[in-house]
Amino acid sequence: MKKKIDPFDLNELKVQPPVPLAVAFSGGADSTALLLACINQWPNLEGQAPRVRAIHIHHGLQAAADSFAEHCTRTCRALGVPLHIEHVQAKHLPGESPEEAARLARYKAFAGVVHGVWGAEINTVLLGQHADDQAETLILALSRGAGLPGLASMAPQFERFGVNYYRPFLQISALQIREWLSTKDVPWIEDPTNQDTQYTRNKIRLQIMPALSKAFPSFRETFARSASHAAQAQSLLDELAAEDLLITGNPPQIKTLQSLSPQRVTNVLRFWFKSLGTSASSTQMNELLSQIKRCKTRGHQIELKLGRGFVVREGAHLSWSELLQ
């Protein structure tokens, strides 16, 4: 019989985050379980610096946002965990995904707290995404025709804006987490928007995942393997892109880009964009490749709207500048 992983014995998980650390705490089941897991593993001891802290991001996007923050405050006080509540403005720009805008705002907020509020005391944040979230992410990526970065889904460990992130629960199902949590005397909140099927991710969770579970009971594990294969392939492409960026320069030199194949130009530019905190759709990338190819004279200009900024020509190089908010 396959051993059932206890999601709160982090020694059985592949991810071993350093301490002290912070938990991204929404007050929902997953982040509540993660917070309990962490204080079980690294209890905060009286008279010593806390090894576990919590960050709650207050988006202000729904009427219940204030009550979520109040719940998190009560929970952390009862558990003896220092909590910082960070208010963010997650308004999206025209043509930008609201979900992506909220995600970017969260990561910037985490970095602001870690570096600006706590200074050098801590540089690790744990996120509560689990195996169901990983499967949903892969399905969503497939539905959008995503490339390898999208198919790789969520990494167990990554860095964003100078903060190190870990996802210890990616091998654990939502059901396992809730079964364990239901035995604890710690309440959690249910976000009412999770039942709204106008959001694609909720539609996947409520309609597609149950059907997959019935037809393919092990789909979480097999999907995770596919995501891992995609991540390995993307890692090789990133290595090539890093080498090419040394050749093209940073920012990339247009003439050198023109000497590479379209596939390598696409790869190195996506790598460069990622380092800038932005990305390009296939349509945007094709337009940019076309502009680069046509750029033969000194006066030929390049300009393309990309995310929250523009890619332009500055002399012999490309440049990207973020729009002022």
Per the CB < 8 A criterion, the answer to whether 150 and 234 are in contact is no
Tell whether omega for the bond before 50 is within 30 degrees of 0, i.e. cis: no
For residue 62, give the nearest of 98, 18, 110 by alpha carbon.
98
For residue 79, give the nearest of 33, 48, 112, 111 by alpha carbon.
33
Between 63 and 116, residue with greater pLDDT: 116
pLDDT of residue 1: 40
For 256-296, what is each residue's pLDDT tens digit? 999 999 999 999 999 999 888 888 888 999 999 999 999 98
pLDDT of residue 231: 94
Asked whether the predicted pLDDT for residue 82 surpasses 90, the reply is: yes
Q: How many angstroms from the chain centroid is the CA of residue 308?
A: 18
For 146-191, what is each residue's pLDDT tens digit? 999 999 999 999 999 899 999 999 989 999 999 889 888 889 998 8
CA atoms within 13 A on the CB side of 52: 22
pLDDT of residue 68: 93
Between 110 and 197, residue with greater pLDDT: 110
Asked whether the predicted pLDDT for residue 95 surpasses 80, the reply is: no
For residue 276, give the nearest of 320, 324, 317, 323 by alpha carbon.
320
Mean pLDDT of the chain: 89
Report pTM: 0.84
Asked whether the predicted pLDDT for residue 105 surpasses 70, the reply is: yes
Share of the chain above pLDDT 70, in %: 91
Asked whether the predicted pLDDT for residue 91 surpasses 70, the reply is: no
Asked whether the predicted pLDDT for residue 11 surpasses 50, the reply is: no
261 vs 273: CA distance, rounded Å = 18
Asked whether the predicted pLDDT for residue 241 surpasses 60, the reply is: yes
- Position 90 confidence tier, pLDDT thresholds 50, 70, 90: low
Query: Would strands 317-322 and 21-24 be described as parallel, antiparallel, or unpaired?
Result: unpaired
For residue 177, give the nearest of 163, 165, 167 by alpha carbon.
167
pLDDT of residue 10: 42
HEC states along the chain? CCCCCCCCCHHHCCCCCCCCEEEECCCCHHHHHHHHHHHHHCCCCCCCCCCEEEEEEECCCCCCHHHHHHHHHHHHHHHCCCEEEEECCCCCCCCCCHHHHHHHHHHHHHHHHHHHHCHHHCCEEECCCCHHHHHHHHHHHHHCCCCHHHHCCCCCEEEECCEEEECCCCCCCHHHHHHHHCCCCCCCCCCHHHHCCCCHHHHHHHHHHHHHHHHCCCHHHHHHHHHHHHHHHHHHHHHHHHHHHHHHCCCCEHHHHHCCCHHHHHHHHHHHHHHCCCCCCHHHHHHHHHHHHHCCCCCCCCEEEECCEEEEEECCEEEEEECCC
Domains in the chain with CATH codes: 10-215 (3.40.50.620), 249-322 (no CATH)
pLDDT of residue 3: 45
pLDDT of residue 192: 83
pLDDT of residue 2: 45
Asked whether the predicted pLDDT for residue 325 surpasses 70, the reply is: no
For 50-80, what is each residue's pLDDT tens digit? 999 999 998 876 777 889 999 999 999 999 9
Average pLDDT over residues 228-249: 96
